[in-house]
């Protein structure tokens, strides 16, 4: 491995890039923002990185206090990597960068590697905080084999990995479809019409959720209660 580059500038941005600016490093952070992970799982979820590069990047992140190692219960030699409390501060900037980067995705990119779990961060990056519903609701997303939810309580959001007990809205789709919608390559309406997205919930809940994700035009008003909208049967969404 070569010597790590240093920008040699007395600047906060340069200082941050000295730590996470090397190729693959920020994607390692992305994986650990989703959940702590073992080396082998990181290697599997980052195709193309190579074990030597991953080892070097993790060593540097450990030295800088960005990640920490934990023992694995039942495996005396196993190690789990997770972000330190300080590094959790990266969540906001990473989500903002992901939202910004959505605008550069094209249909040609759609055939590249995508993981169901990336939908959890993609969802967080899409939130328009000026359009959080004033109604307490829970929206569950089933992206491929992964499930996660957004809980709205008192105008505040919580992002919850795993299924929701009693969601007001359930959205099911493949991971690439979810990213294509976030990148504005596919509209939610077209995805529902083609069956690429299945939705179960009241029309007003659908409207509030799509507004919150920035997928509905500003100024649009929710449909009146009782209005029929695109929805699937409970059986379709619980498979």
pLDDT at 236 over 50: no
For position 76, what pLDDT does the model report? 77
Q: Give me the percent of the chain exceeding a pLDDT of 90.
A: 83
Q: Which CATH number fits domain 103-237: 3.30.1050.10, 3.30.930.10, 3.90.950.20, 2.60.200.20?
A: 3.30.1050.10
For position 78, what pLDDT does the model report? 84
Per DSSP bridges, beta strands 137-143 and 169-173 are parallel
Per DSSP bridges, beta strands 67-72 and 169-173 are unpaired
For position 217, what pLDDT does the model report? 61
pLDDT at 239 over 70: no
For position 153, what pLDDT does the model report? 97
> What class, spelled out in words, does domain 12-90 have in CATH?
mainly alpha
**For residue range 83-109, what is the model confidence (pLDDT) as tens digits?**
999 999 999 999 999 999 999 999 999
Which segments of the chain belong to CATH 3.30.1050.10? 103-237
Would you tell me the crossing angle of helices 12-20 and 25-34 to the nearest 10 degrees? Answer: 80
pLDDT at 113 over 50: yes
pLDDT at 204 over 90: yes
pLDDT at 224 over 90: no
* Count of C-beta atoms within a 10 Å radius of residue 105: 16
**For residue range 125-154, what is the model confidence (pLDDT) as tens digits?**
999 999 999 999 999 999 999 999 999 999
For the residues 153-168, what does the mean pLDDT come to? 96
């Amino acid at each position: 491995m070569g010597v790590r580059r240093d920008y040699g500038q007395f600047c906060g941005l340069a200082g941050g890039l000295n730590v996470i600016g090397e190729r693959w490093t920020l994607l390692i952070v992305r994986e650990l923002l989703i959940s702590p992970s073992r080396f082998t799982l990181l290697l599997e979820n980052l195709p193309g990185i190579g074990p030597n590069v991953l080892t070097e990047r993790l060593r540097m992140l450990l030295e800088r206090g960005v990640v920490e190692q934990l023992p694995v219960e039942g495996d005396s030699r196993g190690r789990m990597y997770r972000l330190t409390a300080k590094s959790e501060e990266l969540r906001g900037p990473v989500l903002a960068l992901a939202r910004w980067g959505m605008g550069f995705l094209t249909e040609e990119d759609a055939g590249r590697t995508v993981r169901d779990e990336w939908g959890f961060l993609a969802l967080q990056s899409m939130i328009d905080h000026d359009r959080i519903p004033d109604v307490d609701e829970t929206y569950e997303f089933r992206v491929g084999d992964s499930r996660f939810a957004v809980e709205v309580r008192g105008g505040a959001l919580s992002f919850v990995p795993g299924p929701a007990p009693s969601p007001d809205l359930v959205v099911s789709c493949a991971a690439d479809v979810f990213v294509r919608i976030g990148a504005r390559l596919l509209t939610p309406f077209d995805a529902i019409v083609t069956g690429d997205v299945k939705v179960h919930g009241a029309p007003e809940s659908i409207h509030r959720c799509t507004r919150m994700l920035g997928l509905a035009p500003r100024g649009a008003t929710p449909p009146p209660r009782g209005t029929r909208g695109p929805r699937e049967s409970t059986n379709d969404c619980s498979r």
